[in-house]
């Protein structure tokens, strides 16, 4: 733009100079020519006046006059009488032909002052002749002065040279002026262009400072306002984009948007975790290239058909089978054409598992409650039907009812305890001496220990107290030791407690009947029994080990079990000390 503006200015200036020079040359040439004619006529009149005042007696006087003033004024002087005879000529001594027929002579003899340009045969070149009437005494004639046209042309050449010099000077000044004015005018425009370039590179803090009050100044002001508005818009969009990115990143469900041709528009990290594509960058790639799932496809097709939200459930096979819930929604502004589909894919495997556990739990609780209640109702009906009259039978039935009621009470208590532990709301955390707790539990269970079973526990000299709810820790050891006593008909039960670093280790090992390997993975499930008949016979509720596991997890601990059928079972528990501190 700078060059275009510069050359435009220069062309306009040169055109103006050229036209001015042309007009000035024409007018100047005419003016010089007219002034030259008038000058030479005035000179001729002056010579005629001088000649009239001098005394002239002979031709010698005429010759002297023309020679004198010709040398003085640098032009040719010719004296001609009224018959056309040349009396004297300053340029030649030869006898000249009669000049009565010459145009300038004819005009002068008529009393006029005449200037004529024509070729002189005598001098062999073009001359400009100026003739005026002449009178001196009896002499009447013409005084003519002449000047070679070359001298007049020389004057014209000097005039032309002056014009050329003036044009050159004006051209130089025009070039400088065009450069200066172009820079002055283009400077704010260039600033606007540079600012626009910086904005295109992402710099929205640019501002143009100018004092120009013209259109360019208004353009700069408008540009500053536009840049400020654009910066505000970009900042808002950046902020909203960051918020959207944060929201999408924080979502645990996979989110993906696809266009009309199923190409991926955007997605979050959780989506990658759900589908686990082979490629890292999948934006712009068709969803069908790496995800093949009936629930997803059905949801997409139904949304495109109905333009309404759809929820589908299915399974996804990626190394393992997982349950997913797909929620599909039309993508676009309300009332306008929808340009894609937004998919929210949730991994509900754990939820389905929890639902299955809840269903099993309800079924097991119902079954566990139904069994003692059925037994109690049966014995009550028997007593009502007359068995109560037989004291021995009545007492035996009442003992059974009492046992079943106790079992029912224990079951309800375990269920409530398990629910309380699962809520993980522990309001009491006190320093608990684990050695004392183990001793208290052993003493509490002493009545259940037969002569064939021996419990070995040698407390370490010092074990740092563990911060917890002492009742929870006591319940843990009651359940583990009670199970060890129940399933060890003959042998030993070893209890060991020690501290290593910031971890508390507890080990309970028995030489009982043991557990088969296929049951080890499920013994911590609610109501799971390895030997259902034996467990019920010994009054178990099926929740003991589940309670133990939840207590361990309550304090961020870990529990492991190792058992061999016919050899015995070993439980290993570890508690991090920092977990119990408030």
* pLDDT tens digits, one per residue of 146-185: 877 766 666 667 767 777 777 788 778 777 877 777 777 6
CATH of segment(s) 1-153 = 3.30.450.20
- What span, in angstroms and rounded, lies between the C-alpha atoms of 197 and 203? 9
Instruction: Write down the pLDDT at residue 582.
Output: 45
- What span, in angstroms and rounded, lies between the C-alpha atoms of 482 and 535? 12
Domain locations in the chain as residue ranges: 1-153, 353-422, 427-576
89 pLDDT more than 80: yes
DSSP annotation of 287 reads G
Instruction: Write down the pLDDT at residue 151.
Output: 61
Instruction: Show the DSSP H helices in 256-336 as ranges.
Output: 269-275, 294-306
Instruction: Write down the pLDDT at residue 558.
Output: 92
Q: pLDDT-derived band of residue 282, with 50, 70 and 90 as boundaries?
A: confident
- What span, in angstroms and rounded, lies between the C-alpha atoms of 273 and 54? 131
Percent of the chain at pLDDT exceeding 70:
81
Listing DSSP states for 134-176 in one string gives EEETTEEEEEEEEEEHHHHHHHHHHHHHHHHHHHHHHHHHHHH
190 pLDDT more than 80: no
453 pLDDT more than 70: yes
Over the chain, what is the mean pLDDT?
A: 78
Weakest-pLDDT range from 310-324, 372-386, 439-453 = 372-386
550 pLDDT more than 80: yes
Weakest-pLDDT range from 150-154, 429-433, 523-527 = 150-154
Q: Which CATH class is domain 427-576?
A: alpha beta
CATH-assigned architecture of domain 353-422: Orthogonal Bundle (1.10)
Coil vs helix vs strand at 76:
strand
């Amino acid at each position: 733009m700078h060059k275009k503006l510069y050359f435009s200015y220069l062309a306009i200036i040169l055109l103006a100079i050229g036209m001015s020079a042309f007009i000035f040359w024409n007018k100047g040439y005419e003016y010089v020519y007219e002034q030259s004619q008038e000058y030479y006529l005035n000179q001729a009149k002056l010579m005629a006046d001088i000649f009239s005042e001098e005394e002239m007696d002979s031709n010698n006087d005429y010759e002297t006059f023309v020679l004198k003033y010709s040398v003085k004024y640098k032009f040719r002087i010719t004296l001609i009488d009224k018959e056309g005879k040349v009396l004297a000529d300053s340029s030649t001594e030869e006898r000249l032909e009669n000049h009565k027929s010459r145009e300038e002579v004819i005009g002068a003899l008529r009393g006029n002052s005449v200037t004529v340009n024509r070729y002189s045969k005598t001098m062999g070149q073009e001359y400009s002749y100026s003739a005026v009437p002449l009178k001196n005494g009896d002499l009447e004639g013409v005084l003519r002065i002449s000047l070679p046209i070359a001298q007049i042309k020389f004057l014209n050449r000097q005039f032309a040279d002056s014009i050329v010099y003036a044009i050159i000077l004006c051209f130089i000044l025009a070039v400088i002026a065009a450069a200066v004015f172009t820079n002055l005018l283009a400077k704010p425009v260039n600033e606007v262009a540079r600012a626009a370039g910086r904005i295109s590179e992402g710099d929205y803090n640019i501002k143009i400072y100018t004092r120009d009050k013209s259109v360019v100044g208004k353009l700069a002001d408008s540009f500053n306002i536009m840049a400020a508005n654009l910066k505000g818009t970009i900042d808002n969009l950046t902020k909203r984009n960051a918020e959207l990115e944060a929201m999408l990143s924080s979502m645990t469900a996979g989110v993906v948007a696809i266009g009309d041709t199923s190409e991926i528009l955007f997605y979050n990290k959780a989506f990658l975790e759900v589908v686990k594509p082979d490629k890292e960058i999948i934006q712009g790639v068709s969803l069908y290239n790496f995800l093949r799932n009936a629930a997803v496809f059905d949801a997409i097709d139904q949304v495109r058909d109905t333009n309404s939200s759809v929820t589908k459930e299915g399974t996804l096979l990626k190394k393992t089978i997982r349950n997913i819930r797909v929620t599909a929604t039309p993508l676009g502004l309300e009332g306008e054409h929808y340009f894609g589909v937004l998919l929210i894919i949730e991994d509900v495997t754990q939820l389905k598992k929890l639902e299955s556990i809840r269903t099993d739990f309800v079924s097991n609780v119902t079954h566990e409650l139904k069994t003692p209640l059925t037994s109690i109702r049966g014995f009550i009906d028997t007593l009502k039907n007359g068995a109560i009259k037989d004291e021995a039978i009545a007492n035996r039935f009442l003992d059974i009812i009492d046992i079943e009621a106790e079992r029912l009470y224990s079951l309800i208590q375990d269920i409530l305890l398990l629910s309380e532990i699962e809520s993980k709301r522990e309001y009491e955390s006190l320093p608990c001496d684990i050695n004392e707790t183990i001793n208290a539990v052993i003493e509490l269970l002493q009545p259940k220990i037969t002569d064939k079973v021996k419990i070995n526990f040698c407390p370490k000299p010092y074990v740092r107290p563990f911060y917890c709810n002492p009742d929870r820790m006591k319940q843990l050891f009651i359940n583990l030791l009670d199970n060890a006593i129940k399933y060890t008909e003959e042998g030993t039960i070893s209890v060991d407690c020690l501290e290593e670093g910031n971890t508390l280790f507890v080990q309970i090992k028995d030489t009982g009947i043991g557990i088969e390997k296929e049951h080890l993975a499920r013994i911590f499930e609610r109501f799971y029994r390895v030997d259902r008949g034996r467990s019920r016979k010994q009054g178990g509720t099926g929740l003991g080990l589940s309670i133990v596991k939840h207590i361990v997890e309550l304090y961020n601990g870990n529990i492991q079990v190792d058992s061999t059928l016919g050899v015995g079972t070993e439980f290993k528990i570890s508690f991090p000390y920092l977990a119990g501190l408030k």
